[in-house]
């Protein structure tokens, strides 16, 4: 949810690593693609909303699920891999300035998955 808030409220449309990846200066981008920054601001607002919404739903389901339903470990594993796992991996591929910070949510997800599976094994499931 915090990561979603960051994308909605704080993240600028273009980060220094974005410009490095594209091999262009901010002035070149603004001249060559006018309107890109305002469009990206909208894109990141939508992306942040999805992140925050997924976080709210995850917390709600985790807090209210009365039983450990069959297949829930797979759902937790796949949803984390497709969200924070993929995000963290791509930030390392892009050599993002924030790659180590963005490794945090992926590690929290991984720790939660490990503890969840360990509890399942401890219950004989």
The two tokens of residue 46 are 């939508």
- Cα 109 from Cα 87, distance rounded (Å): 12
Whole-number pLDDT of residue 31: 96
Indicate the domain borders of the chain: 1-64, 70-125
The answer to whether the pTM exceeds 0.75 is no
Residues 6+ apart with CB under 8 A from 89: 106
Mean of per-residue pLDDT scores for the chain: 87
Positive or negative: CA dihedral 53, 55, 61, 63? negative
Tell me: the pLDDT tens digits for 87-107? 899 889 888 888 898 899 899
What is the C-alpha separation between 109 and 25, in angstroms, rounded? 36
pLDDT of 124 above 90? no
């Amino acid at each position: 949810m915090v990561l979603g808030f960051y994308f909605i409220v704080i993240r600028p449309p273009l980060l220094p690593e974005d410009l490095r990846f594209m091999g262009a200066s901010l002035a070149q981008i603004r001249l060559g693609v006018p309107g890109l920054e305002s469009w990206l601001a909208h894109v990141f607002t939508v992306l942040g909303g999805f992140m925050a919404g997924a976080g709210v739903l995850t917390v709600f389901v985790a807090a209210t699920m009365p039983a450990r339903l069959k297949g829930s470990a797979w759902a937790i594993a796949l949803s984390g891999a497709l969200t924070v796992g993929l995000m963290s991996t791509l930030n390392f591929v892009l050599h993002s300035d924030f790659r180590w910070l963005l490794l945090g949510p992926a590690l929290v997800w991984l720790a939660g998955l490990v503890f969840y599976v360990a509890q399942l094994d401890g219950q004989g499931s």
